[in-house]
Amino acid sequence: MPLPEGPSVAVAMPRSRLRGLTRRVTSIPEITLLVLCVIAFILFTAANKGFATGPNIESLFLTIVYTGIVAAGEAVIMIAGEFDLSVGSVAGMGAIVSGLLMTSWGLPVPAAIAGGVAAGAVVGLVNGLITVKVGIPAFVTTLSMLYIAKGLGYVMSGGDPVYPLPPDAGNLARTDILGIPSSIWVFLLIIVVADLVLRFSTWGRMVYATGGNPRTTGLAGISTTKVKILAFALCGALASFGGIMLVSRLQRADASIGQGWELNVITACVVGGVALGGGVGTIAGVFLGLVLLQGVQQGLVIAGVDASLQPVVAGMILIGAVGFDLYRRRRTV
């Protein structure tokens, strides 16, 4: 076939480059979510200028901090090809452990926080050992742990809130840094570190490999068992830390902290592009999923949508977001 001549060749080159650039941009896994977040931001701001105000944006981040920290751990475990339904209860249990350590036991706040995180890691470790070593499916193991951790929280606290806490219990979440509460800085740090670890570290690649194709990964000499158990422990520790962050903000620990978080967290992961089957997803995507979910909830209030209709509209937007992302991925492939 003869090549096009003259000016048409000059025109064809930039077009192909543009096409290539477009293809590269649209192949970025988080691009759909980013675009949807921007669209939602513009629409809700157009509906009411109150959406784009500092307090509302700060409130959005302050809301996703706690479930966001938990979601980072959940994303790792889901990418590794497993599931953890106990994260909400572990958050509540970690909150109680930490609260009791700083009150009844009189430990310094940092030590109490470390104790709470360690308790969560132990629970995660138990989840991992039972799931991977014993072979009980993660659904069953972590569902059982959901009740066990919740019950332990009630037993330890006697069902009563741990209140009041030492005044410096609030430092973790409430310290002002450059005009922004420290809880947001801590959350962003966790998100960035987790994303970088998953993308660039050897262990991160092992997590993707384990979730993507455990059999081949095992044949390549990687211990998928160890990867999964460590992922479970990390998930438990982060879940507990999420609960402790909320304790720091509320200055009160009670066993009801974290109730229902598992559903919000898994939803954020799925919306953020983490595959239920494992091997796919990023922490950056989960972060955008959290922002989109919470942004829509707050936006609907600000836009004046009737309270009874808000869940309906939110559900429709979510289906649309996930469907649009699926369509884009299929086209990219």
CA pair distance 169, 13, nearest whole angstrom: 61
Which residue of 14, 110, 320, 323 would you call a contact of another protein, by CB under 8 A?
110
Which residue of 70, 209, 246, 317 would you call a contact of another protein, by CB under 8 A?
246
Binding flag, residue 307, another protein (CB under 8 A): yes
Least distance from C-beta 25 to another protein, angstroms? Answer: 26
Least distance from C-beta 33 to another protein, angstroms? Answer: 20
**Beta-bridge partners for 253:** 162
For another protein, the closer of residues 33 and 296 by Cβ is 296
CA pair distance 203, 193, nearest whole angstrom: 13
Which residue of 98, 224, 240, 298 would you call a contact of another protein, by CB under 8 A?
298
Binding flag, residue 58, another protein (CB under 8 A): yes
Binding flag, residue 292, another protein (CB under 8 A): no
For another protein, the closer of residues 135 and 167 by Cβ is 167
| Coil/strand/helix, residue 253 | strand
| Coil/strand/helix, residue 71 | helix
| H-type alpha helices, 27-107 | 31-47, 54-79, 87-103
| H-type alpha helices, 159-276 | 171-174, 182-200, 202-212, 214-219, 224-250, 261-271
Cα 201 from chain centroid (whole Å): 19
Least distance from C-beta 7 to another protein, angstroms? Answer: 47
Binding flag, residue 276, another protein (CB under 8 A): yes
Which residue of 149, 238, 250, 296 would you call a contact of another protein, by CB under 8 A?
250
Least distance from C-beta 162 to another protein, angstroms? Answer: 10
For another protein, the closer of residues 204 and 254 by Cβ is 254
**What letters, b where the CB count within 10 A reaches 16 and e where it falls short, cover 246-263?**
bbbbbbbbbbebbeebbe
Binding flag, residue 59, another protein (CB under 8 A): yes
* Residue 183 token pair: 């809880």
Binding flag, residue 202, another protein (CB under 8 A): no
Cα 208 from chain centroid (whole Å): 17
**Contact by Cβ (8 Å): 90, 153:** no
Report the site for another protein in 151-170 (rule: CB under 8 A).
154, 159-161, 163-168
Helix (H) or strand (E) holding 109: helix 109-128
Residues that bind another protein (CB under 8 A): 48, 50-51, 53, 55-56, 58-60, 62-63, 65-66, 85, 102-103, 106-110, 139, 143, 146-147, 150, 154, 159-161, 163-168, 171, 246, 249-250, 252, 254-256, 259-261, 276-277, 294, 297-299, 301-304, 306-308, 310
